[in-house]
Amino acid sequence: MSLDLLNRAVQSPTLVRVLPFGIFLALTYFQGQFGASSLYWFYAAKTVVCGWMVWTLRPRIEEMKWKFSLEAVLVGAGVLVMWVGIDAWYPHMGAVMDRYINPFFSRLGFNAGAATPPTIWNPHVVFGENSALAWFFIVTRVLGSTLVVPPLEEVFYRSYLYRYIARPNFQSASLRVFLWGPFVITALLFGFTHNQWLAGILCGFAFQGLVLWKGRLDDAIAAHAITNFLLGLWVIWKGAWQFW
């Protein structure tokens, strides 16, 4: 990313909130596109690049703060329990695509083909069981999902997108005002970017509800970080790699 582009981003209230998330999505797209190991190397690159952007741009995003309140801890832990607890009770995104979405488009004359099953994120398989490189990527995943993803996603979804849907001049919209349209649309978009889409939607409701309750983003960022950190520990402890 050029310094000129970063300078332009710093001057735009919209771009400063959207650009890091856009780069995050672009690097996510390339994960696994260049062989099995690229799934992990691109994740590491994404963590470094987006972490640097979050750190560099944070003075320009006044709502990008952390607050470890009791409410944040309870919501973060509760979302983790929900995410794991309902996992076996609904079809994941690949199954939904095969069962409903692709047949719908086929009836319209589009041959979408079968959905590609999501790649299980397990570096022990690619780099060797308990190898140093496997654990490097596991630690990188835990750190990235705990320290980088929460501020980046909460700023984009709960602060920018929610308020932009409510009012294009988003900075004039309060974080505390509840509106059904932005509330539902933001949670749906957040949920459908996850293979565990239903858990993602409920997670979106929980984090947005925390923002509305507190009137700030701090607690939602902390709750998101707690959820992701605990989920990382669960994945490592149980070998439940499907959650990554």
The reported pLDDT for the residue numbered 4 is 67
What is the pTM (predicted TM-score) of this model?
0.91
In a domain, 130, yes or no: yes
pLDDT per position as a tens digit, 45-61: 999 999 999 999 889 99
The reported pLDDT for the residue numbered 183 is 98
The reported pLDDT for the residue numbered 96 is 76
Q: Please, are residues 21 and 152 in contact by the beta-carbon 8 Å criterion?
A: yes
Percentage of the residues of the chain whose pLDDT score is greater than 70: 89
In a domain, 29, yes or no: no
Total number of domains constituting the chain: 1
pLDDT per position as a tens digit, 191-220: 999 999 999 999 999 999 999 999 999 999
Contacts of 141 (CB under 8 A, 6+ apart): 43, 121, 232, 244
Query: How far, in Å, are 93, 122, 141, 244 from residue 235 at the CA level?
Result: 19, 10, 11, 8
In a domain, 32, yes or no: no
pLDDT per position as a tens digit, 152-199: 999 999 999 999 999 999 999 999 999 999 999 999 999 999 999 999
In a domain, 57, yes or no: no
- Tokens representing 151 are 């501020």
In a domain, 17, yes or no: no
Could you list the residue range(s) of the whole structural domain that residue 164 is in? 64-243
